[in-house]
Amino acid sequence: MENIKVTLTESSKLSELDFDNIPLGKAFTDHMFICDYSEGEWRNPRIEPIHSIPTHPATMALHYGQAIFEGMKATLNADGTPLLFRPMKNAARLNFSANRMGMPELPEEIFTEGLKMLVNLEKSWIPPKEGSAMYLRPFMYADEHFIGMRAATSYKFLIICSPAGPYFSERIKLFAEKQYIRAATGGTGEAKAAGNYAAAIKPTENAKAKGYNQVLWLDAVEHKYIQEVGTMNIFFKIDGKIVTPYRDGNILDGITRMSVIDLLRDKGFEVTERPITIDEVKEASENGTLEEAFGTGTAIGIAYIQEIGTDEGTIHVSDESPVAEDVNDTLNSIKVGAIEDKFGWMVPAE
C-alpha cells in the first residue's frame, strides 16, 4: 500500500466545539481521509483538512446511486487511547456492499490504516464523557462524469469524523410498516447502500408523524416476517429465550447484532436466529410471554422498545428491559476498556 500522505490544517476548529452541547451529526473534525480509484486501482491515500468535494453535474453517484457507507465509533479508554470497535468487520461489510453495487473493493489495509491514522490524529475531538464517542463515516461513491447506465470507472473513498455527545437510551415506539418495504430477496437489503436509506425516508417520516420513533420493516411478500428497524437490528425475549430474525439476505449484518448475540450467549441465554412473524410477537404480548424487545446499532447502541404500532392496533412490549440494559452496560464498558475485552473486539487506533 502507498504511504498515506498527511496535510495538516492550519486552523483547527476544535476550540469552537462545546463538548457539553454537541450538535448531533453537524460537527465535523478538522481532517478527512480520502483515496481515489481509477484505471482499476486505488491510489493516493491521503489525509487532508476537511473540504468540499467538487461535484460535476454528471457525477454518476448522483444519477445511478452507486454509493455505499459504513458507520462506526471511536471511544477513549481511561488512559486516553482511542479505541475502535471491531473495525475489520466494517471493512469487510464495506466490501460486501461494494460487490453488490458493482463497485470496486477497497483493500482492507487502506480502510484500517486510513481509519487508525485519522482517528489518532483527531483523538482530541473524542468527547471524554461516559456514553460519548466520535462517530466515523467511511463511504464510497462513483465520481466518474458520465451519462449512461453502467458501472463507473472512477470512485472515491472517504472517512469523515463527527463527535457525538452521550446518547440517553429512551424507550422507543415502532410502527410495523405494511404499505412500504425496505428489502426484497435478490435486492440490496444486506448492503449498506445509500439507496436503501433513500427509500426508507418517506415511510420513516410517516411513522414519526404518527408519533413513532422508527419503522419496523416486514418482509416484502407477505408483510408478516420481521426484518429490522430503521438503522438497527431487532431482538425479542420471549418466555426467557432470545430470538432475532435470521440473515436471509434482506437485513444488514449488524456488527452490534453479532456482538450482542455473543454477549447474550456468554451470559447464559439461549439465542436463536430464525424467522419471526409480527403475529407471533402479538400473541406473545397477549399471553404474557413477551418480556423484552430491543434494537441494536452503532449509532444508538441498544434501544429499548416499549411498543409496536400496527394497522390493527398496538402491541405492548414492556416498560422495563433489564436484560437489554445489562447487555448495553457490558457493551459500553468493553468499548471504553472498563472491563476485560475477552472477545478481543477493541483495536487501539495507534
> Which residues of this protein are in contact with ligand PLP, per CB under 6 A?
71, 228, 231-233, 252, 254-257, 296-298
The nearer residue to ligand PLP, 71 or 131, going by C-beta atoms, is 71
- Angle between helical axes of 255-266 and 322-335 (0-180°, round to 10): 110
Its sign, for the CA torsion 88, 93, 99, 105, is: negative
Output the smallest distance, CB 57 to ligand PLP, in A.
Answer: 29
How many other C-beta atoms can be found within 10 angstroms of the C-beta atom of residue 28? 17
The nearer residue to ligand PLP, 188 or 296, going by C-beta atoms, is 296
Output the smallest distance, CB 201 to ligand PLP, in A.
Answer: 13
Going by C-alpha positions, the residue among 289, 286, 345 that lies closest to residue 314 is: 286
Output the smallest distance, CB 71 to ligand PLP, in A.
Answer: 5
The nearer residue to ligand PLP, 232 or 261, going by C-beta atoms, is 232
Give the DSSP letter of residue 14: G
Output the smallest distance, CB 38 to ligand PLP, in A.
Answer: 29
Report which residue type is found at 287.
N
Output the smallest distance, CB 184 to ligand PLP, in A.
Answer: 14
Integer Cα distance of 214 and 230 in angstroms: 6
The nearer residue to ligand PLP, 204 or 321, going by C-beta atoms, is 204
Could you give the C-alpha distances from 80 to 99, 123, 316, in angstroms and in order?
A: 37, 8, 42
The nearer residue to ligand PLP, 9 or 332, going by C-beta atoms, is 332
Pairing state of beta strands 241-244 and 82-85? unpaired
**Cross-strand pairs, 73:** 135
> In degrees rounded to 5, what are phi and psi of residue 96?
-60, -45
Output the smallest distance, CB 259 to ligand PLP, in A.
Answer: 8
The nearer residue to ligand PLP, 17 or 176, going by C-beta atoms, is 176
